[in-house]
Amino acid sequence: MLKKTQRGTAAILVLTALLLLLLNLFYFAECDELYFSAWEFASAGDRLLSRPIRSGSYVIGLMHNGRLLGNFLGVAQAKLLLSPLGRLRAVLFTALLLALILLLRRVGAKKSALGLPAALVLVLCAPRGIYANVYSWGVAFVNYLLPMLGLLLCLRLLRREKPAGAGLCVGLFVTAFLSQLFVETFTLSACVFGLLTLFERRRPLRLRLALCAGFLAGALCMFLNPEYRTVAEGGAIYSVGLSVEKALRAANAVCSALLLRALPLSVLLSAALTLCLRKTHGKKALLLLLPLLPALGLWTAARLGAGLPAAATTAAGALLALSWLIAVCRLPEREKRWELLVLLLTAAASVLPLALLNEALSARMYFEAYLLLGLVLLRLLPERVPREKALRAVLLGVCGLWLCALLFVYGRNSAVNRERIELGRAAVSQGAERVELPLVPYPDFMTNEQIDKGDLGFLIFRETPLDTPLRFLPYELWQETRSPD
């Protein structure tokens, strides 16, 4: 029976890997990845991309910050994608996504029969914004997914049943330290996670200290960069500042992203907490489902095209988050209660800094909170459930259908992208004064498909000056302009 289950799991993973590989082959370079095509490593300092190159070129490089690993790997994967070995990036990204799925299952629901299907749904059926802003955009992929892999790996090492030897402590410290060199919001929330873990007494003290020390040392390495003083003073491209208006804007954006665009996760999390509390609180636990009603109403209104008041969205999100916090605090098992409380507080810490940003907020900034809430859900899954075979089939079927739909969407986008590059190069070589090109058919699944799109010029004007205006039209409108009267 065990061998049959293992064969079934292996078959699911192999099929998922093949579909993900094909999907990753359809992703193409956008934004920074095309800017980096003109990047040259000029010195040892620039290899870490810790300062911008200002050589008079159109491309000045990256802003000066402490994202040492994130910056370096972002440029490296972009150069790999645009090289003859570009398909190797698809293999690497597929492996990283599979590692994320397996770590979520291992850390979140190792003993549950629904662990693997649930982890697959959590990662692969993520909201459209995560595909546009994380999975399909390589620069964001390495900056936001890799530190989450590091955090999950730390959790895995922290929970190992083997003796807490020196090697395990060093591994925890190094993993935690490296995870901090990607993006600032993760760095801050990981420090919160590390400090809270110090109070989890069932883990060996030396492991907790190694984990916390790694996170704090990594944060210190990042924020010692002097450019953050310029950012704080408002003298950089990205600046920060605190105001009530920005805090309310961030709260509304977070509630919209984690409630309306990820509503299935919110519904399942509330339902799982309700089921856990019914054993000790009886029918009173059903009160936890009431905060879902405003969220469902707003989601329905959004689907009908109605405008949503920011105050209503924020209030609904705050009510739902408060219900989760209360429910977790009422769980009967003390160890699980503290563990889930740490995950919820870390998720909150990952989005709180967004209230300081002056730039527009995007889906990648909620990726950590989305996965942490999903991890809470996985930790609540029971080992056995009624009709688990049918539930597994449903979850796997949903994943399969969604991946097939994504293959169609990104396949069409990729084909149009190749076509417009060829058309642009042909028009420029013929001396056209202006070039009209299409946006992709499904722009909502990409991160930079807009009328004033300028990144594509770095592929079209490889050998010629950037002196021919590019005009981008919606795909349907562009088709009409090309069709004969």
Instruction: Give residue-wise pLDDT tens across range 281-307.
Output: 888 888 888 888 888 888 888 777 777
As beta bridge partners, residue 310 has none
* 283 and 220 assigned to the same domain: no
Residues 298 and 325 in one domain: yes
CA 155 – CA 190 distance, rounded (Å): 12
Calpha distance 139→29 (Å, rounded): 9
Task: Indicate if 155 and 213 belong to the same structural domain.
Answer: yes
Whole domain around residue 475: which residue ranges? 405-482
Indicate whether 260 and 208 sit together in one domain: no
What's the pLDDT at 112?
82
Q: So what's the pLDDT on residue 316?
A: 87
Please state, in angstroms and rounded to a whole number, the distance separating the CA atoms of residues 229 and 231.
5
Q: Is residue 64 one of the residues assigned to a domain? A: yes
- Pair 250, 223 in one domain: no
* Token output for 245: 């208006």
pLDDT value of residue 136: 94
Are 12 and 123 in the same domain?
Answer: yes
Strand 470-473 versus strand 435-438 pairing type: parallel
* Cα(411)–Cα(405) distance, integer angstroms: 10
pLDDT for 141: 95
Residue 83 lies in a domain: yes
336: in domain: yes
When divided into structural domains, the chain yields a total of: 3
Give pLDDT < 50 ranges for the chain.
Answer: 1-2, 41-45, 47-61, 237, 485
54 within some domain: yes
Is the CB of residue 66 less than 8 Å from the CB of residue 223? yes
Q: Within this chain, do residues 182 and 37 fall inside the same structural domain, yes or no?
A: yes
Indicate whether 373 belongs to any domain: no
Domain annotation covers residue 372? no
Three-state SS annotation for the chain: CHHHHHHHHHHHHHHHHHHHHHHHHHCCCCCHHHHHHHCCCCCHHHHCCCCCCCCCCCCCCCCCCCCHHHHHHHHHHHHHHCCCCCHHHHHHHHHHHHHHHHHHHHHHCCCCCCHHHHHHHHHHCCCHHHHHHHHCCHHHHHHHHHHHHHHHHHHHHHCCCCCCCHHHHHHHHHHHHHHCCCCHHHHHHHHHHHHHHCCCCCCCHHHHHHHHHHHHHHHHHHHCCCHHHHHHCCCCCCCECCCHHHHHHHHHHHHHHHHHCCHHHHHHHHHHHHHHHHHHHHHHHHHHHCCHHHHHHHHHHHHCCCCCCHHHHHHHHHHHHHHHHHHHHCCCCHHHHHHHHHHHHHHHHHHHHHHHECCCCCHHHHHHHHHHHHHHHHHCCCCCCCCHHHHHHHHHHHHHHHHHHHHHHHHHHHHHHHHHHHHHHHHHHCCCCCEEEECCCCHHHCCCCCCCCCCCHHHHCCCCCCCCCEEEECHHHHHHHHCCC
Contacts of 222 (CB under 8 A, 6+ apart): 65, 66, 67, 68, 180, 181, 184, 187
Count the Cβ atoms, other than its own, within 10 Å of residue 263.
18
Read off the pTM.
0.90
Question: Is residue 374 in a domain?
Answer: no
Q: Is residue 24 domain-shared with residue 83, that is, in the same domain?
A: yes
Q: Is 481 exposed, middle or buried (0-12, 13-18, 19+ CB in 10 A)?
A: exposed
Q: What does the pLDDT read at residue 408?
A: 97
- Same domain (yes/no): 206, 282: no
pLDDT at position 458 is: 73
Per-residue tokens: 10: 């292996």
Cα–Cα distance measured from residue 63 to residue 236, given in angstroms and rounded to the nearest whole number: 8
In a domain? residue 317: yes
16 and 131 both lie in a single domain: yes
- Encoding tokens for residue 89? 């990036």
Q: Which of 451, 461, 449, 470 is nearest to 28 (CA)?
A: 449
What are residue 64's DSSP bridge partners?
none
Structure confidence at residue 224 (pLDDT): 86
**Statement to judge: residues 280 and 197 lie in one domain:** no
Identify the burial level of 54 via C-beta atoms within 10 angstroms of its C-beta, where 0-12 means exposed, 13-18 middle and 19 or more buried. Answer: exposed
Q: Is the domain of 227 the same as that of 293?
A: no
